[in-house]
Amino acid sequence: MLPKPSPDPKSSIWAWLAHDLRLYRVQRGLSGDALAKLINCARSSISRLENNEAKLDERQAAILDERWDTGGHFATMLWYARLGHDPDWLKQHQDIESDASVIKVYESQVVPGLLQLSEYAHALVVESGAPNVDDIVARRMARQEILTRESPPVLLVLLTENVIDWPVGGPSLMRKQLAYLLEVSDRPNIGVRVVPDRRALISG
């Protein structure tokens, strides 16, 4: 099977770093196994690093710069990559979310994406003014598939009372969304708790 093509170095600094890692390796005639031994990691990690599915760390960058005499190329790129905004941040978040065994969420304004009904998500996205509403909602719903897979993660959600008081999409839709929260909170892998408004407690 042919290897994946290198990430587009113009898409982000992280992608440029991954692209250059493969470029420098190939220029030196090194195999993935040889590079793995050089930076002391698993062979599979090299593929992930070169495909921008994992991130080079400072120790690995320092080894490459020293052994390949790059003049600090990888350490400098790593420094800038960590400073800058990564346009692929959402995919990274989703990858971490998909691999997690335990997910803890705190939300003070809206129902978390993993527990949103599609109608609720649609109302939120419309109000945000974002384009491609249907695409955004579809991606959000796809994220929820991790909760129904064979070995789902444990999801622990803490909400403020504001979340259940704000009638997103109107009272009818909000009742439906809150009923869904009660339903999913009965699942053995999902816990939902609401922090009451202290002002209401004090005035009462």
Domains and CATH numbers, the chain: 13-83 (1.10.260.40), 89-203 (no CATH)
The model's pLDDT over 154-173, given as tens digits with 9 standing for 90+, comes to 999 999 999 999 999 999 99
Instruction: Give the C-alpha separation, 65 to 47, whole Å.
Output: 19
Q: For residue 149, which amino acid is it?
A: R
Q: What is the pLDDT of residue 203?
A: 47
Q: What is the pTM of this model?
A: 0.59
Using an 8 Å Cβ cutoff, are 192 and 185 in contact?
A: yes
Using an 8 Å Cβ cutoff, are 91 and 98 in contact?
A: no
pLDDT band for position 27 (50/70/90)? very high
Q: What percent of the chain has pLDDT over 70?
A: 93
Instruction: Give the C-alpha separation, 146 to 158, whole Å.
Output: 19
